[in-house]
Structure 1
């Protein structure tokens, strides 16, 4: 069977900082927003945008950020890049909803610190939409993440088939699929805990997950039934996709991996 074509899509990049919070990486770099902290010669957010721009079928990028950081991020963008800015809401789910206003087709959601993002990963989650999924989320197995870097990630979700880490990469088939994020609108972290959807479906499903009785796909089938949407996981072979820049430790990991990629391209 041939691989489905990747549909035209709008990318939503979550770049806002919590109001009143000074991010340690931003403070160390002397910038107002962590997205502007440099890594391997460019701001964090620029690495993400470059990966998106290298992905066929991209139509627009919508960066969600606080207004005071918008000008500095705009200056870091490539000239002529199809980038719009959206004012961040009080929580991540509401920010996603704000960025989705007026978007009729597929949407890709990621974060501005997801510096190891690749066009291949973007295509993988979007291809699932072309295959009939309403919502897709990218994960990597514990073994793949640790193979990429032994210090890259310490949080894994354990299921009956394996342990997985979230890759901060999601795709939605359209505005209707945003219903899958409704359980986060009270302030839950959309980017950090995507499988919180299971808790919204009741204590039995949550208990089965915590007891390791459900596989990842089995858990998401239950999510699918609860929301009336087809939710599919995409297991990425390259575990580096699960390593974003949260702190000094993960910054060092991402920096080393970006340098390794650059050396491989130059070889």
Structure 2
């Protein structure tokens, strides 16, 4: 059973987000999506899933949520926040997950609990995403058995899971370059990935062994789980999807 919820809402210091500039707001969490601030949409989905409150938010002080420390990047913020929160299992998501729903949250948590590992990462496959949204440009990690994209959902079962966060701090700058990321984990695993011989499960097992924890992916059947709001085209797509939901 989830003990705490952390929403990442920070942004890089000194960088003007074009979405914020266009919306006339100072923080991404405040950007209206179909008339509702992004952060509010995320909070509503989490409440619909009956997760324990108060929810914690990192990197934004303009809400009535419990504010916790934020760092220079997502991994830094998770580590700093969880060192203070210290309540596990913890569900971590982001403020720009405007399409998040109760069903996505429940599906992810059920998958993570069934895995029984120290940390789980929510993913959606290209086969799930592309048929519904061929126009969306995603960064896919291509393994021998499947291509996957992140869903901004993380389940940290216990303090051991923080070891994975510390490792992510050291490689997060490579997240858009899967080959360099694989090589950072190990030369052998990098070669297997580059030659298309590395499976998704094998990648998680190898990385977990290297870090000294257990980890597993949770594949979600929702294409929308992989769509966040990072650029104007994302915002337009998300608002179209929300309009279709309302209709």
1:1-267 matches, cutoff 5 A:
7-65=1-59, 69-71=60-62, 74=63, 83-100=65-82, 101-131=84-114, 132-186=116-170, 188=172, 198-263=182-247
RMSD across aligned positions (CA): 2.3
Q: Displacement of 1:262 after TM fit?
A: 1.9
Q: Deviations over 1:75-113 (max 9, x none)?
A: xx6xxxxx2012321222121112112323111111110
Q: CA shift at 1:191, angstroms?
A: 8.2
Cα shift at 1:167 = 0.8
How many equivalent residue pairs?
A: 245
Cα deviation, residue 243, structure 1 = 0.6
Q: Distance in 2 between matches of 1:190 and 1:49?
A: 29
Distance 2:162 2:101 in 1: 24
* Structure 2 CA distance for partners of 1:40 and 1:142, relative to 1, 3 Å: same
What TM-score, normalized to structure 1?
0.84
CA 1:207–1:58 in 2, change beyond 3 Å: closer, same or farther? farther
**Which stretches in structure 2 are left out of the alignment for 5+ residues?**
none
Q: Secondary structure at the residue paired with 2:106?
A: helix
TM-score by length of 2: 0.90
- 2:112–2:218 CA contact under 8 A, matched in 1: no
Report the Cα distance in structure 2 between the residues aligned to 1:151 and 1:208, rounded to whole angstroms.
Answer: 30
Confirm or deny: 8 A CA contact 1:108 1:171 kept in the other structure. yes
- Which has the larger displacement, 137-146 or 52-61? 52-61
Structure 1 runs of 4+ off > 4 angstroms?
A: 189-200
In structure 1, C-alpha distance between the alignment counterparts of 2:171 and 2:213, rounded to whole Å:
22
